[in-house]
Structure 1
Amino acid sequence: MSIADLTSRTADTTVTLLPALAERWSPRSFDGSTIDETKLTAALEAARWSPSAANTQPWRFIVARRGTAAFDAVVANLMGFNQAWAGAASALIVAITEDVDAEGAERRWASYDVGQAVAHLSVQAHHDGLHVHQMGGFVADGLREAFGIDERFTPVSVTALGTVGDPDALPEPLRSREIAPRTRVPLDDIILVNE
């Protein structure tokens, strides 16, 4: 499969979706290029303008560009196969929830809200020709220590951002996963009630 084939893997949807949603997928093969700062800023701006409960905006981000000490610190705290491929991304973004506000009040919906923020980021990035791969395999306490993250904040995910690269550069079984057909369970299987 060529890089061109990888960048145009439109989902087989039951109805027509916005192109940025239907075409979005999560590669592991990145080309290691320098991030386009305008596109990175647009993705972060999309996250900033995502909805949140009571407009609390309980998200924070660590933005680590390839070639920086911050990037290396994030890579060092990735787990398993994530370390094998994520270092080729142009940027790694740690999404963090503010679980408790400055006055000590719980922000119960913070993880939901940060998920929406990262979803908005990923759609904007794809619209601008970048790709995103979100990861849960990381050492949260290691990131907390590396970046001095206060205890009222929690690292939730790490997002690799960049331009798709050659899948042949990936070790197996990651290469096979990269070129495998995209699949999802049927829509009827995820809807519990539809009256």
Structure 2
Amino acid sequence: MSKPADSSVPLHPLIAERWSPRALDPAVELTDRQFTALFEAARWAPSWGNTQPARFVAGRRGDDTFERIRGTLSRGNHAWTGPAAALAIGVTRVRDEDGEPMPYGAYGLGLASENLVLQAVAEGLVGHQMAGFDREKARVEFSIPEDFEPMVAIAVGGLGSPEGLPERLQQKEAAARSRHPLSSLVFSGTWGNALF
């Protein structure tokens, strides 16, 4: 199922084709190269002062880390992530080696996570980023130090059929993608004065 972005001008296919499906194909497995490429792409994301705050805990379907990550997910996310080829928890550094706050750590993790997902799209895969997971459970489960904060869970896999999903999620899979119009997002001169 392709759901390209309905954009005002043409976008690069990696961006236009990126969406967050929940229907994943249980037959799809990641090669070692594909799995590594996800995190290599994340590693090369820009970061404030090259601080590189993003870290990941990751596993592939069938391994212990995958199941432990899945155990931190909310009930709704746990229900559909079993067929994912890989799961990860994105973690950001919140304090540097001297104990000083890292003010743009969340921004850096966001950039790294999007790089990871776009690499998945480039590999013919899909990615779904999730806020629905227990951060403290993840911290304890994976011994994440206090200078780091778990912020996002990510499922990666092959696009599957929505038929096995609950009706509510099937409807979400079939729904058109939408975004706020540019006129409400980009301003010029003064706040609220639409540039586009």
Name the TM-score, length of structure 1 as normaliser.
Answer: 0.93
Q: Give 5+ residue unaligned stretches, structure 2.
A: 189-193
Q: Give 5+ residue unaligned stretches, structure 1.
A: 1-5
In the alignment, what sits opposite 1:129? 124
Please tell me the residue identity of whatever aligns with 2:139. Answer: R
Deviation at residue 68 of structure 1 after TM alignment: 1.2
In the alignment, what sits opposite 1:159? 154
In the alignment, what sits opposite 2:82? 87
In the alignment, what sits opposite 2:99? 104
Matched, 1:23 2:30: no
- Kindly, what percent of the aligned residue pairs are identical? 41
Q: In the alignment, which of 14, 34, 38 is matched to residue 33 of structure 2?
A: 38
In the alignment, what sits opposite 1:3? none
Q: In the alignment, which of 111, 115, 123 is matched to residue 120 of structure 1?
A: 115
CA offsets 1:63-103 (integer angstroms, 9 cap, x no match): 11111111111111111311110121100011000101122
* Count of paired positions: 189
In the alignment, what sits opposite 1:9? 3
Please tell me the residue identity of whatever aligns with 2:41. Answer: A
Please tell me the residue identity of whatever aligns with 1:136. Answer: A
Matched, 1:147 2:123: no
CA RMSD between the two structures? 1.2
In the alignment, what sits opposite 1:168? 163
In the alignment, what sits opposite 2:68? 73
Structure 1 residue ranges, 4+ long, deviating more than 3 angstroms after superposition: 192-195
Q: Secondary structure at the match of 1:40?
A: helix
Q: Secondary structure at the match of 1:144?
A: helix
Q: Give the Cα–Cα distance (whole angstroms) in 2 for the partners of residues 192 and 145 of structure 1.
A: 43
Matched, 1:182 2:177: yes
Q: Secondary structure at the match of 1:173?
A: helix
Name the TM-score, length of structure 2 as normaliser.
Answer: 0.92
CA offsets 1:97-152 (integer angstroms, 9 cap, x no match): 01011221211100001000011111111011010000000000100111011111
